[in-house]
Structure formats: C-alpha cells, structure tokens
Amino acid sequence: MNFYSCLILITELLMTAMTLHVVGYSGFKRVQKAWYIITFVSIMLCAGAEFAIHGGYYDPSLSLFLTIIAVVQFSLAPLLGVFFSGALGLHHCGKIAIGYFLINLIVEAAAAPFGLVFYFDAAGYHRGEFFIIYEAFYVLSLVFLIVGMISVGKKFKHRDFWTIGMVVVILLAGILPMTFFKLNVTYIAIAISASLCYIYYNDLVQQDIQAELVENQKTISDMQANIISGLANLIENRDIETGEHIARTVDYVRIISENAKKDGVYADMLDDEFIMLMCRLAPLHDIGKIVVSDSLLKKPGRLTPEEFEHMKVHASVGGSVVRQVLNGVTDEEYLIFACDIATYHHERWDGTGYPKGMKGDEIPLSARIMAISDVFDALISKRCYKAEIPIDEAVEIIRSEAGSHFDPKLVEVFLRHEDEIRAAAEK
Ligand SMILES: [Fe+2]
C-alpha cells in the first residue's frame, strides 16, 4: 500500500468513527443525522474515487472509465459544504444540493473531453490547465457552509467567529496542499473539519435551545402569576378596580419569608423555591370567598354569628376551589402549596382558629406566614365593615397576639424587620 492509499484509508476510518458517534448521539435530530450520513457517504465515495484515480493501479485501457469516475467525483466533492449545512439544520439544502450537483456535473462533463480540469494519458492522471474551476466550486461550497452556519445560529455571536475560523483553517489546510504541492489530502481535512465543527456547533445550538426554553418558561410563569393575581383580585373585590391589598400582602409575605431565612428562623424549610411559591400563591388565600355571597362580603357593619359562620366556610372550601381553578394549569407541588394557604390561613397558633383548629407547628408554615400578613393588612385597611387603624396600633396588635393567634417566632421576625413592613404598608 502506498502513502496515498494509506491517507485515504485513514480518512475513511476517521469518517466512519465520526459518523457512528453522530448517528448514535441522541442530541441530533433525525434530519440532521440523515444529512450527516449523506455527507459521510459522499466523502467515502470521493475518497474511493481518488483511490481508483491515484491509487497507483492505473491501466490505460481504463481511462474512459476513470474519466467518468473523476467527473462524478469532481461534481460531488464540492457539495460537501451544502450537505454539511443540511446537517447543521439549514433548510432547503436538498434543492440546493441537486441544483449545485447538476451545474458541477455539466461543467466537469463539458470540460472532460478537452482535458481542461483533468486528463489521463499513458502515465496516468494529470491536472488540466483550468483545474482552478474545480477549486472554485470547492470554495463556493465553503462560502455556502459559512453562510449556513451564521443563519443557523439565529443571532451572530462572538463564539461563531471561532467556529468559522476553525472551518476555514482546516479546509485551507486541505485546499492549499492540493493547489501548491499537488497533494490530495483534501478529504482528510474535510472529514476532520466536518466532524469537529458539526459536534461543536451542534452543542452551541443546543445551548441556544436551552436558553430559549428557560426564557419561555419564565414567560409562562409570569403569565401564570398574572392570572393568579387577577383572579384573586376579582374574588377579593368582586371588581377589577384595585389590587393594592393583594400587592401589599405579597410584599409582607416576601419580607417575612426572606428575613426569616436570613435570621435562621425555619431556614431549613425556607429555600428559594418556597419563597417563590409563597409570593406567587399568597394572592389566592381568600379564593374560597367565591362561595360567599356579595351581600355578605360587602355588608357594612359587624356580621351576625350566623353570618360569621357562613364567612368561615371560605377557608374550608378554599382548597377544593384552588383545585378546581388550577387543576391542569399547574403542577402538584403548586397545588398543595396553594391549598395549604387557602385552607389554613385562619388557623391560630393556640388551636382556636378554623376550619380545623390546628395548633402550633401542625399549621403549615405557609399558612402561618399568610396569617400575619393577611391580618396586618386587614387592620390597616378600610373595609366596608370597619375603619382603618394606624400602623403603630396594628403592629402592637400583632405583637400582643404572638403565641395566641400567631407563630411567635414569625412575629419576632415581623417586629425585627418592622421598617421594611412599614415601607411596604405605606407604598
Ligand atoms: Fe380569609
């Protein structure tokens, strides 16, 4: 086996290994794999044709046969850039490849009888006077590939320079020896560059997709939050005029949760996920009021004992209302969290609350945080049945009810960060 045959054999083995990797790697789409296989088969065919043409087994009686092989190879090889663009995910490569192949084929076949690009004589294969035609087709293919890579990336990024730089340098490493030293090592260069770039670039595209997914997730989350607070607002007020109570309540909930975590109070439970859920779902605490009549909700003055009993139902039905409204819209963790807040925000630390009469730590932490926030805002707000009271007085009431109505540790956090609470209340 001569040096040339050896190079071609190495190319074919290398290409086979890379193709196995690409086809086996699940991160690539089916259409991309198909294009990569087309690229692989083309490189194999071209390398095989080169082997036949330059392999050292030349027989003058075969010159017509070898000319046909050479024309096909010279028409197919410049398509590698187009095939590779298909593997990167560029659309319409099929039509472009067929058109480009036909143009190449016509030019090479027309030039063949005149020996312009290549010819065979008694000594074997030679380059023609216009071998540059073939190289020009190659370069055009390279340009197509680069344009394809840029368009696949959607937005041109700094990192794309490095990818394109890699392709250009490696392909030049194939084209330059072919031009100046008449060494045909092009396929090795193409095989290496195609494989490396494909894997590298695909990773970049995957990263883009990942970033897009995160962005979309955020949009959906924001929409969900808006729906929840809009819904809560409607239930609370039976109109769409004000969301102030809800916005303030969310502020208190956030201040208490974040500061409790910082102060080491229930820090093992208060992770970022908990705080996010707390803030997002706090607006739903009174969702059960949907079953309470308008006349009762808007009644001026105190409720009678019977009316108060009816009002208390909003807590016991809160969980099932949450399930009815949010089921299918959100996941189970979300649902449980929202149910806890809606059902238990009127429980009291000493066990005298409703609907279950739970005591102390039995009451979910989310509902205990909600209770302080809800009562505090109710105290400082004007309602149809009562006037607002000054913030100082409301803070005093919260302090005095630590251990009876409220979780004493959370009241401590509330009082320690009273300034932030006041700022939120006065907003
Ligand atoms: Fe309530």
- Between the CA of 388 and the centroid of ligand 1 the distance, in Å, is 18
Cβ-defined contacts of 180-186 (< 8 Å, 24+) = 182/127, 184/4, 184/50, 184/54, 185/7, 186/77, 186/138
Top mean-pLDDT range of 136-150, 184-198, 250-264: 250-264
- Between the CA of 286 and the centroid of ligand 1 the distance, in Å, is 5
Could you tell me the domains of the chain?
Answer: 3-212 (1.20.1070.10), 243-426 (1.10.3210.10)
- The pLDDT of residue 241: 41
Q: Between 217 and 263, whose confidence is greater?
A: 263
Cβ-defined contacts of 60-66 (< 8 Å, 24+) = 60/120, 60/122, 63/120, 66/120, 66/125
- Between the CA of 370 and the centroid of ligand 1 the distance, in Å, is 10
Q: Which segment of 47-56, 276-285, 350-359, 376-385 scores lowest on mean pLDDT?
A: 47-56
Q: Report how far residue 72's alpha carbon sits from residue 77's, in angstroms, rounded to the nearest whole number.
A: 9
Q: 3-class SS at 330?
A: strand
- The pLDDT of residue 40: 81
- Between the CA of 82 and the centroid of ligand 1 the distance, in Å, is 65
Q: What is the pLDDT of residues 120-164, one digit of tens each?
A: 887 788 888 988 888 888 888 878 877 776 766 555 565 566 667
Phi (first) and psi of residue 29, to 5 degrees: -75, 160
Q: What is the pLDDT of residues 274-332, one digit of tens each?
A: 999 999 889 889 888 888 888 888 788 888 899 989 889 999 998 888 888 777 667 78
- The pLDDT of residue 185: 58
What is the percent of the chain where pLDDT is above 90?
30
Q: Report how far residue 392's alpha carbon sits from residue 418's, in angstroms, rounded to the nearest whole number.
A: 10
- Between the CA of 117 and the centroid of ligand 1 the distance, in Å, is 87
Q: Which segment of 44-58, 170-184, 357-371 scores lowest on mean pLDDT?
A: 170-184
- Between the CA of 310 and the centroid of ligand 1 the distance, in Å, is 12
- The pLDDT of residue 166: 66
- The pLDDT of residue 188: 64
- Between the CA of 21 and the centroid of ligand 1 the distance, in Å, is 60
Left if phi > 0, otherwise alpha if psi is -120 to 50, otherwise beta: which for 238?
left
Q: Report how far residue 116's alpha carbon sits from residue 95's, in angstroms, rounded to the nearest whole number.
A: 28
Query: With 50 as the cut, is the pLDDT of residue 61 above it?
Result: yes
- Between the CA of 314 and the centroid of ligand 1 the distance, in Å, is 7
- Which amino acid makes up residue 308? F
What residue spans of 55-114 are helical by DSSP H?
63-76, 80-87, 93-111
Q: Report how far residue 255's alpha carbon sits from residue 235's, in angstroms, rounded to the nearest whole number.
A: 24
Q: Give the mean pLDDT of 396-412.
A: 96
Q: Between 87 and 178, whose confidence is greater?
A: 87
- Between the CA of 7 and the centroid of ligand 1 the distance, in Å, is 80
- Those residues whose C-beta lies under 8 Å from the C-beta of residue 376, and which sit 6 or more positions away, are 252, 394, 395, 398, 414, 421, 425
Q: Report how far residue 307's alpha carbon sits from residue 293's, in angstroms, rounded to the nearest whole number.
A: 10
- The pLDDT of residue 221: 80
- The pLDDT of residue 165: 73
Query: With 90 as the cut, is the pLDDT of residue 233 above it?
Result: no
Strand ranges in 107-235 using DSSP code E only, listed in sequence order: 118-121, 124-127
- The pLDDT of residue 355: 94
Q: Mean pLDDT over all residues of the chain?
A: 82
Radius of gyration over every alpha carbon of the chain, rounded to an integer in angstroms = 37
- The pLDDT of residue 43: 79
- The pLDDT of residue 280: 87
The reply to whether omega before 355 is within 30° of 0 (cis) is yes
> What residues have a C-beta under 5 A from ligand 1, the ion?
286
Q: Between 231 and 278, whose confidence is greater?
A: 278
Query: With 50 as the cut, is the pLDDT of residue 239 above it?
Result: no
- Between the CA of 259 and the centroid of ligand 1 the distance, in Å, is 24
- Between the CA of 427 and the centroid of ligand 1 the distance, in Å, is 23
- Verdict on whether the full-model pTM lies above 0.85: no
Q: 3-class SS at 107?
A: helix
Grade residue 226 by pLDDT with cuts at 50, 70 and 90.
confident
- The pLDDT of residue 315: 93
Q: What is the pLDDT of residues 327-347, one digit of tens each?
A: 766 778 888 999 999 999 999
- The pLDDT of residue 240: 41
- Between the CA of 196 and the centroid of ligand 1 the distance, in Å, is 62
Instruction: State the helix-helix crossing angle for 186-237 and 272-281, rounded to 10 degrees.
Output: 40
- Between the CA of 344 and the centroid of ligand 1 the distance, in Å, is 9
- Between the CA of 345 and the centroid of ligand 1 the distance, in Å, is 6
- Between the CA of 39 and the centroid of ligand 1 the distance, in Å, is 66
- Between the CA of 315 and the centroid of ligand 1 the distance, in Å, is 6
Grade residue 404 by pLDDT with cuts at 50, 70 and 90.
very high
Top mean-pLDDT range of 1-15, 102-116, 226-240: 102-116
Q: Between 137 and 223, whose confidence is greater?
A: 137
- Between the CA of 407 and the centroid of ligand 1 the distance, in Å, is 17
- Between the CA of 301 and the centroid of ligand 1 the distance, in Å, is 18
- The pLDDT of residue 16: 80
- Between the CA of 346 and the centroid of ligand 1 the distance, in Å, is 6
Closest C-alpha to 250, from 228, 221, 219: 228
